[in-house]
Every structure is written in C-alpha cells, then in structure tokens.
Chains A and B, each alone.
Chain A
Amino acid sequence: MKNRINQLFETKKENIFSVYFTAGFPNLNDTVQIIQELEKNGVDLIEIGIPFSDPTADGPTIQHSSEVALKNGISVKLLFEQLREIRKSVNIPLILMGYFNPVLQFGVEAFCAKCHEVGIDGTILPDLPLNEFEENYKDTFIKNNLHNILLITPQTSEKRIRQIDDASEGFIYMVSSSSTTGAGKKVEDFHHDYFERIQQMNLKKPRLIGFGISDNATFTNACNYANGAIIGSAFVKSFDKNVTIKKSISSFVTEILLPA
C-alpha cells in the first residue's frame, strides 16, 4: 500500500492542515477520540506526540501536557494498544512525533514494526539526527513503509537543506523561527525573508511550516509560503475540562480554517 502521506501530498497541494496533540492528554484514553474528531472536522494530517520527561525542544505548553500525560500513565506500549484499531475508523495519515529515547528503549525495530502494524505512516523524531538515522535505522524504516520526516530551521545552511530535501521522506518540516514550540507569534513576527528564501529553492519535497502557528491569521500566512502548516501548542492549550472533546475540537478547527 502506498504511504498515506504521499497520497495526501499528491491530491492536495495547498492549505494542508496538520495538528499535533500529546497522547495521554488531557486524559489517558482520549487518544482515539481526538484523532477521530480531528479527521471529522477536516484536518488533513495528525502528529501524535509521544510524551518524554525532558522535552528540550518544547515550550511550556507541551512540557505541561507531556508531564500530565506521563502522570496519567501513558507509555509507548500503551499508545500502540490505544491505536490498535485506529485504521478501522480513520483514513488520514498519522505520524508519531517524539524524542528518541522512549523509541530506543521500546526497540527501534519493534517500534517500526508496531507502527506498520497499526497503520502509522511516519515519524518526526527531532533528536534523531540525519547521520544517525541514515547509518543505523534507515533500512528498518523503509522495510516498514515508515517515513522519517526531517526538520529545517532559519539557521540551516543551503547545502544541508539540499541534503535534507534528499533524505526527508513525505515532506519537510519547516521550523518557522529560532524557537522552541508554542511561541505563539503574530504574523508580522515571522521571518518572511526565510520563508521566501526556502520557497525559491524549488525543493523536491513538499513543506509544512510549524512552530508558532496558533490562529487563522498565522495559519493562512504560513500556507502562502508552503503546502500547509502545523499547529501544536495552540491546539493542546485549547482543551477545556468544562467542554467535551467533540465540541472543543470542532470549535478549534473552525476557528483556524474559517475567519471570523
């Protein structure tokens, strides 16, 4: 079967809306419902966050959701159990995103095999650098039809961007600015010269812009420079214990996609 991430980028070229959430947050067993509701409301791609005790690339929102999720009892093993039947109800591509150590302890081969078994299409593992991936793990990922998606930042040199363009599968995760996640910027705070510079490089792989995208204005703006954008912290922050997950997701997605 063709990887669902490739299918998505073949059929949709712009305004791709990707959402990140932390597995096990706000409640341990919300994972499946969150995925289902995001798809129902028109989200194109989902990044399921695997919590880690020491999320060094994340700001306060995802630090908090990770801490709560771990207290709730989430683990890689439990997450795979929660996702066991996800492909009976969900068709959009699903990506697991997290730090490398929990994956390493689960066993990289076992992790990739499990991803394949439950229908995960890709991974984003920010602290698994390109050289380590290519030397040690690439074959295992390919064998399991699993795309490993790589990041570029405003500091990434042109030479390295070309390397990453060759190596990243599915798409390139374009980090919007030099920051940890959840910076919640305004449109004018983004470095549009960087966005334009990358746009003019004519890269082979599609691009999604993430980090600091939090509302309709920043989402729409990012979509002007890439195939779409990713929202994480703003979505994680949107849960309210007085509102059902169904309602909360519907109003969040509506706000992002339709200007008030």
Chain B
Amino acid sequence: MKYQVNEKGYYGEFGGAWIPEMMFTNIDELKSRYLEIIESDEFRKEFDQLMKDYVGRPSPLYYASRLSEHYGSGIYLKREDLNHTGSHKLNNTIGQILLAQKLGKTRIIAETGAGQHGVATATVCALKGIKCVVYMGALDVSRQAPNVKKMKMLGAEVIPVHSGNKTLKDATNEAMRDWINNPEDTHYIIGSVVGPHPYPDMVARFQSIISAEMKGQLKEQTGNKLPTRVLACVGGGSNAAGAFYHFLDDEQVELIGVEAAGKGVDTPETAATLTVGSPGVLHSSKTMLMQSEDGQITEPYSISAGLDYPGIGPLHAHLHKTGRAKFLSATDEEVLQAALLLTQKEGIIPALESAHALAALEKIKMNPDDINVINLSGSGNKDMETYLNYFGY
C-alpha cells in the first residue's frame, strides 16, 4: 500500500485538493462518499455487469508473436483498443456515471482533448439518459471533427473553448468554471488521474481493472502472474495508472511510463512534463507541471491530442520521484514509426497515444525470456488522417 493515496489526498508530496471555496462542497461530498459507494455490493454488481456486457471486458491479452520475434523478447498487448468506444476511457466514465447517479446528480460535464473521453462520457450519458455537456478546445474541435460529430449524435452538447491555447488545459479550465457555476445538480467527470483529491484515486481505481485482468491472463497464459515490465503512455496518466495499479507493490515488476516528447524534450514543442517540469499547483492538484519561472503554465505540444497536457497525475509524479516507475519519452517521429511497425507486424493500428508506449521498446534493454506487457490504450481509427498524411498512402 506504499503507493496509495493517504488520508489527506497525497501521494508523497504530490496531490491534495487545492480547490477554491466555490468547489469545496462538491469535492467534500465526493471525498466523503466515493469509497463507500464504489465499494458497495450494489455498485460493484452494476459496474461489473456493464464492464462485461457493455464495454466488452475482459479485454484480451494478446501475445504479439511477430513483434516479439522482431525485438527478441516476449511482448504482450493489453487490448484496451477493443473496448466499446475504442479506448480505456469507458472504464472510468462507467464508474463515474454510476457514482453520479448515486449522488443524485442530473447533469454531467466533461473536458476532452482528442475527444476520446468526450465520446466515452457522451456514451454513458446516453446509456443512462443524463444531460451531457462536453468542453473541448476550439483547436481540438477542428482537429477532431469525427469525434465532435459522434458526441453530438450521442446527444451531448459540445462547447468549443476559445481561451488560452484552445486545447485540453483550456477545456479543463472551462469545465471547472461550469462546475463553479452549477454546484447543485452537476457532476464533473474528469477524464484522467488529475484534478483534486479524490479524483486521481477514484479514476485510478476504475482503471485498475486493466492490471487486475492482466494478472489473471498472464497466469493463465504464462503460468506466472507477474510480467518483467509493464509499459504505458502517460499524458494525465489514467491508462498507465490502471496498468500499473495492481503491480505497484510487486517491486520486481518494472513499470515504465512514456511521455510525449513532441518534437524533442530539448525543444519548446514537447509535452514531457516529468522531463522538463517542476512541482506546482494546477487544476487543484500539486504535481509536476510545465511552467515558467514565474509560475505561468506553458503550452504543451504533442502530435497526439490525448497527451497534450502540461501536467501529470500526482500518482505518477510520486512514482517518478520515488523511482518506483521509470519515465521515458518518445518523439512524434519515433511514435509514427512504432505505429507503422505494429500495424505491419501484427495488423493492429494503434492510437497515436498508445504508440508512445510501443516506441519505448526501441529504448529499453530486453532479454529473450522477458515478459513485456504493453497497455494498448486505444485504437488508431481516430488518427487515420494523421497516419495517411504522414505515410502518404
């Protein structure tokens, strides 16, 4: 339990709930009720049922034989891309919509970058017949048109955000403003392990189904429930939190998070928060941030809109600080090549985000007997335009 959140909402020196008083009542209610609700039999039953029959879980753990041969080491892919809506995001939104219902909320808000969390939120709102408003940076609205249309078809209202850089950070700011303005009836479904306590812990718990399944599947397929290492991409870090969760106390398992280097960590166009960042407070959490000397948040860049965030979940900041997990980064170029390699070796087109984890295979030393598990967090369907333009098919 060394890496779990403490009773004050901290992972080591990171986390907490740095909220303005306007959010206190809602956060306090969540904090005092989330564990009791999500650990109740009634909640577990409904959550498990939906995971199985609606999301399509368990997601397969697939032994990638040609990729394994290529790298000379055993590589397994946790197929979160095969979930309903094409990513791990639905694990969290299902959990939070059930929680919101128990709290008596009748209106849902969410932020989204690439649109995956927006679609996952709009999906569960349609499933439950609850009003849904999604904030999305105006730049992302134009970059991710198909997801915008999907959200609208699902019945959500998509509000383009024109402040700041018009991307994920600004969408998050606007969602927080909405919550301040609508404190009575609204629940804010944050899409990652970021924001004030209890969000990082709550989202990690919902996503932890990923590593829980991995353990059982590894045992079945290899006879050993522990892999040599687990690799996952990290923006805010929800898929990585889920993939690491049940291995945190198995210290012999190497955990590797892969951040988006963008055009390189030595350029201003990067989103590798742990490499270039420093501790600070953003979106009500004390964590590692990309910021100026004066404490202004700087604009991140990555080819993948889902990793385009200047912060990181406080759990990951703590895993980094303590050395429990290792964090690498991959450039846009490396990511595109890794995506092409998987596509042509295994017939699986990964999301740009997930391809960051694949790109790390080039950067680590692997032995022939190793078991490497990659969390393939999402499908590349949403990224086809980027791939086609780049490779010129």
Contacts and interface: CB of A to CB of B under 8 A. Distances in A.
Interface of A: 52-60, 63, 67, 70, 75-77, 99-106, 126-129, 132, 150-153, 155-157, 160, 175, 178-180
B296 A129 contact: no
B25 A76 contact: no
A156 B283 contact: no
B180 A180 contact: yes
Nearest to A106: B295
A90 B173 CA distance: 36
B291 interface: yes
B25 A127 contact: no
A106 to B, nearest CB: 7
A192 B312 CA distance: 42
Nearest to A180: B177
Residue among A53, A102, A105, A129 with the most chain B CB within 10 A? A53
A52 B296 contact: yes
B297 interface: yes
Contacts of B115: none
A129 B18 contact: yes
A155 B18 contact: no
Contacts of A60: 163
Contact of A101 (B26, B181, B281): B281
The CB with the most chain B CB atoms within 10 A, among A70, A75, A106, A127, is that of A127
B176 A105 contact: no
Interface in B265-295: 280-284, 289, 291, 293-295
Contacts of A156: 21, 24-25
A150 B18 contact: no
B182 interface: yes
B21 A126 contact: yes
A182 to B, nearest CB: 11
The listed residue with most B CB atoms (<10 A of its CB), out of A59, A155, A156, A175, is A155
A105 B25 CA distance: 28
Given A59-B177, A132-B16, A155-B25, A70 B296 contact: yes
A62 to B, nearest CB: 11
B295 A178 contact: no
Contacts of A75: 294
Given A70-B296, A156-B24, 7 more contacts: A56-B180, A101-B282, A104-B280, A127-B281, A129-B21, A151-B20, A153-B24
B311 to A, nearest CB: 10
B226 interface: no
A162 to B, nearest CB: 14
A175 B280 contact: no
B373 to A, nearest CB: 35
Contact of A105 (B19, B164, B180, B294): B294
A48 B174 CA distance: 24
Interface in B24-52: 24-26
B291 A129 contact: no
Contacts of A76: 294-295
A67 B181 CA distance: 22
A57 B180 CA distance: 7
B168 to A, nearest CB: 12
B153 interface: no
B148 interface: no
Given A53-B297, A151-B21, A160-B24, A104 B281 contact: yes
Contacts of B181: 178-180
B169 interface: yes
A56 B295 contact: no
A54 B18 contact: no
A153 B21 contact: yes
A169 to B, nearest CB: 16
Contacts of B163: 60, 63, 67
Contacts of B18: 100, 127-129, 132
B145 interface: no
A106 B291 CA distance: 12
B384 interface: no
B297 A155 contact: no
B258 interface: no
B280 A105 contact: yes
A196 to B, nearest CB: 20
Nearest to B170: A54
A101 to B, nearest CB: 4
Contacts of B296: 52-53, 70, 102
A54 to B, nearest CB: 5
A58 B289 CA distance: 21
B32 to A, nearest CB: 12
B183 interface: yes
A150 B26 CA distance: 18
Given A57-B177, A155-B24, A101 B291 contact: yes
Contacts of B183: 153, 155, 178
A175 B182 contact: no
B194 interface: no
Contact of B20 (A53, A57, A63, A132): A57
B280 A54 contact: no
4 shortest A-B CB distances, which residue pairs?
Answer: A105-B295, A102-B295, A126-B20, A155-B25
A189 B296 CA distance: 35
B25 A157 contact: yes
A218 B183 CA distance: 23
Contacts of B280: 101, 104-105
Contacts of B358: none
